[in-house]
Amino acid sequence: MATPESDPAMTAPTTGSPRRALILYASQTGTSEDLSLQLSDVLTRHHIHPTVLSCNELTPLSTLPTHALIFLLISTTGQGEMPDNAKLFWRGLLRKKLPAAWLGEVSFGVFCLGDTTYPKFCWAGRMVGRRLLQLGAKEVVPRVEADQSADEGTEGAFAGWVEVVRSVLRQKWPLMDGTEEIKDEVVLESKWVLEFAGADGEADGKTDGEADSKGEVDGMEIMRKLHAPRPGAILATVAKNERITTPEHWQDVRHLAFTLPEPMCWSPGDVLSISPKNFPADVEHLLALQNWTAIADRPLVLKPSAHLAPSEIPPCPISTPISPLTLRTLLIHHLDITSIPRRSFFSLAAHLTTDSTHKERLAEFADPQWIEELWDYTTRPRRSILEVLQEFSSIRIPLPRLLQLIPRLRPRQFSIASSSLSSPTSIELLVAIVRYKTVIKKTRLGVCTRYLASLLPDADADADTISLVFHGGSLGLSPSHLRAPVVLIAPGTGVAPMRALLQHRLLSPSPAVDNTLIFGCRSSRADYFFSSEWTSLQARGALQLLPAFSRDQPAKRYVQTVVRENAGKVWAALAERGGSVFVCGSSGRMPSAVREALVEVFAARGGMRREDAVKWLERLEKEGRYRQETW
C-alpha cells in the first residue's frame, strides 16, 4: 500500500507559474465547454497562458496541485450529478487520504451552470467548490450560479463573472511594467485553422480561392450517407419512422426504431446520442452568402496554428473530422450554423466587416453592458447564426477564422423507449419534432429532430442509416427498482424511459407487476402515446394506468392532479410497500408541481407536518427511491 510519502497524489505541491492557468470544464451538452473557451481568451488577453481540459482529461490527478490558478466551469446534470466527463475527476477528489493542505498553493474560481427547475440547482459546482476548500485551496473569485431558465440564461451571469475574473487578475496577478493587456478590439489568433489541401493532401497555405467545384455535388446524399466519426459509434438502419400524433394535432411526435448491427444490452433510462446534420438548403445559403459556392468541395486540412508552440496546442475542436473534409461536409456535419449566436460571436464578427454601420452594431452586441439588447436580438426570437450572417451581409469569414466564429455541432441525447430484453437487435425512440413560431413570427426547426424526421425507413427502397452512441442515463436504477413497486409519472415524451423500464420489469425472469403509470397528454385521441400497450398491460393485471388528459374536459387535469386524486394508491406503493417514484418529462413547471403534489400526499396520508413531508421526500431522494429525468 502506498504511503503518504510514496503516493504521487500526496506529494508536496509545486507552485505553478503565475502566468499560467488551468481551465477545467464539466459539461453534458457542451455549454460549459463553450464558455471555457471564452474564458481562455480573457486569460490570454491578460498574458496568462490557459490550458483548457475537460475534468476527466486532467491525468494524472496528482498534477492538480502544480497549477497555481484554476478555473472550473461545472454543469449539473440529472439528480444533482456530475456530467460524464467529470465523474472520474470527482471520484479522485473524494479520496479520503488526500491531506487537508493538498491544494494549499492553489487559487481557484468556480462558475456553476444549472437550472432552477431541477431539485438540486448547481449542486455539482457547489460540491466541487466545497471540496477544493476542504483540500486547502483558496477561492479568489467568488462562485456564481447561473440559471439556464433565467431570462438572460447563462450568458448574462457569465458576462458578470468574467468581469470579476478580470478584476481579480489585475489585483493579484498584475502585468509587468511595460506590458499591457491585449485590448478587446484586438482579435486573438485562431488556435486551429482550416486550409485548402494541395494535390498531395497537405495544406497548400491558401485560405481562399475561386477554383471551380468538380461537377455538381448532391448535398442530400452527403447528409444521408456520410456520418461524422465518433468514439463508440455504431451504424444502425432505420426500421421505422412513424408519426403517432393525429395529423391535425399541433405537435409532430415520431416513434422511431433502428435495427442494430449486432445484439446489444442496455439498461432502462439509458440514452442514445445522435449527431445532428444541417440541411443542404441551409448550407447552400451560407455558402452563397460567403461567396464560397465555387470552392465548397475543395479538400480541406485542419491543423494547429503555426504561432503555437507544441505545448500550447489545445485539443482539436473537431476531434475526428469527417472524410472527405470540405466546406460543404464541414457545414453539414460539424458546425452549428442554426444555433443562437453567443456574445463571443459578435465580438469576432465585428472585426470581419468593413461596413462601419454593421461593425458598430455588432460591437454593441458584444459589449457586456448591452446584454439585455443581445438577449432581445438573439435568444428571445431564437435568431440563428445563419440569419445574423444574412442580416449583416457584409461579414466575410476568413477560412482560418471559421472554427473560431461558428461553434461545433454537438450531439443530442434521447431517452431509449424500449428494453433490450424485448429485442437486443432493435432499439426505439419517442421524439417530439421541434417546430414552433417565434415572437417575430418566424418558424424554427430543431436541428436534430428535423434530421430525424427526414430519415427514410427500410420499408423504402433505400433505407437510411444513422450513427448512434450509447450512454448511461441518470435514473440510477438498482436491482430493487426492478422488483419493488414503482410509480411512474410521465407527461408527453417523458413516457419513453418509463416504457423501457416497464418492459424490462415485465420481461425479467421474475416479472414485477406492481406498476403504476400516471401518464399525461392533451387528448385521448391526439397524443395518447402507446395507449394500446397500456390498456393491454392493464387488462393482464400488469399495470395500473392513471391517465391525465388535460384538454378532454373543461377543467384541465395534469399529472399532479392525478397524483392528488390517487393519494391513497401513491402512499401505499411508496410508504407501505417500499416502492420508488420516477418522474420524467419536460423541465418546465411539471417537476416542481409533481414534487408539491407528492409532499401534499405524504402530509395528508402520513399525518405529517409539511416540513416533515418535505424531509420524507428528501429521504426518498437520498435512498434513490425518488428519481427525476427532465429535459
Longest dimension (CA), the chain: 82
pLDDT category of residue 216 using cuts at 50, 70 and 90: low
The rounded percent of the chain whose pLDDT value lies above 90 is: 71
Proportion of the chain in helix, strand, coil states, percent, rounded to 5: 35, 20, 45
Long-range contacts of 5-8 (CB under 8 A, 24+ apart): 7/97, 8/60, 8/62
Helices (H), 481-609: 495-507, 531-539, 559-565, 567-571, 590-606
Spatial separation of the C-alpha atoms in residues 616 and 631, rounded to whole Å = 25
Q: Please give the pLDDT value at position 2.
A: 35
Q: Look at 472 and 503; give whichever has higher pLDDT.
A: 503
Average pLDDT over residues 208-216: 49
- 370 pLDDT tier (thresholds 50, 70, 90): confident
Per-residue pLDDT at 15: 39
Higher pLDDT, 127 or 19: 127
Confirm whether 12-172 and 479-630 share one CATH topology: yes
E-only strand ranges, 244-315: 253-259, 271-274, 300-304
Read out DSSP for 542-561? Answer: S-EEEEEETTSSSS---HHH
What's residue 178's pLDDT?
81
Domain residue spans of the chain:
12-172, 479-630
- 3-state SS of 432-493 is ECCEEECCCCCEEECHHHHHHHHCCCCCCCCCCEEEEEEECCCCCCCHHHHCCCEEEEEEHH
Sign of the dihedral defined by the CA atoms of residues 535, 540, 543, 546, in that order? positive
pLDDT tens for 318-327 read 989 999 999 9
Report the C-alpha gap between 579 and 595 in whole angstroms. 16
Task: Assess whether pLDDT exceeds 50 at residue 1.
Answer: no
pLDDT (average), residues 47-51? 91
Query: Within its chain, how far is the Cα of 96 from the centroid?
Result: 31
Domain 12-172: give its CATH superfamily.
Flavodoxin domain (3.40.50.360)
pLDDT tens column, 554-581: 989 999 999 999 999 999 999 999 999 9
d(CA 249, CA 528) in angstroms, rounded, equals 11
What's the whole-number mean pLDDT along residues 120-132?
A: 93
How confident is the model at residue 18, as a pLDDT?
58
Q: Determine what percent of the chain is predicted with pLDDT higher than 70.
A: 93
Residue 448 grid coordinates: 436534430
Residue 519 contacts residue 545 (beta carbons within 8 Å): yes
List CB contacts of 15: < 8 A, sequence separation 6 or more: 66, 68, 105
Count of CB atoms within 10 A of residue 604's CB?
A: 14
Average pLDDT over residues 575-588: 90
Taking 50 as the threshold, does the pLDDT of residue 407 lie above it?
A: yes
pLDDT at 298 over 90: yes
- Architecture of the domain made up of 479-630: 3-Layer(aba) Sandwich (3.40)
The cell numbers describing 488, all together, are 411512474
What are the backbone angles phi and psi of residue 79, rounded to the nearest 5°? -90, 55
Q: Say what the pLDDT of residue 349 is.
A: 96
What confidence tens digit (pLDDT) does each residue in 441-473 have?
788 899 999 999 999 998 766 899 999 999 988
